[in-house]
Amino acid sequence: MATPRPLAGAGLPQERLARLAAEATHAALQAHFDQTLAHLPGHRGDGLRRRVHLAREPGDLWGLRADMARALQRAGEPGRQAQADLDELLARTFSLPGG
């Protein structure tokens, strides 16, 4: 007799809630990254926007922060302010010191 496989999406309520919280965090971060990238016109902004849209979890977005910081620094004062706002959001989201 075959061993029954667990149902997809089944699990303890805490696991489901944690997964939903992670998905909500990812969606919020992705929207903020997208909004931040509005300060980057042209191919550099387009490339980063593509990478943001391909990100599947918050850690993927975390990995883009250095590339975004370099590009935003070149965008002048609006880019630097957008980067400061993004840094603050990341510090709060990932519980970094100073956030």
Which pLDDT tens digit goes with each residue over 27-49?
999 999 999 998 888 898 999 99
Residue 3 pLDDT > 70: no
Within a domain: 3: no
User: What pLDDT does residue 16 have?
Assistant: 86
Within a domain: 82: yes
Number of domains in the chain: 1
Within a domain: 11: no
User: What pLDDT does residue 67 have?
Assistant: 93
Query: What is the residue range of 83's domain?
Result: 17-93
Instruction: Give the whole-angstrom CA distance, residue 7 versus residue 9.
Output: 6
Residue 52 in contact with residue 37, Cβ under 8 Å?
Answer: yes
Residue 81 in contact with residue 75, Cβ under 8 Å?
Answer: no
The amino acid at residue 39 is H
The pTM of this model reads: 0.73
Within a domain: 89: yes
Which pLDDT tens digit goes with each residue over 60-94?
888 998 999 999 998 889 999 999 999 998 888 87
User: What pLDDT does residue 33 have?
Assistant: 93
Within a domain: 33: yes
CA 10 to chain centre: 26
Of 92, 97, 81, 99, residue with least CA distance to 25: 92
Contacts (Cβ under 8 Å, ≥6 apart) of 36: 68, 72, 82, 83, 85, 86
Within a domain: 46: yes
Within a domain: 5: no
Residue 4 pLDDT > 80: no
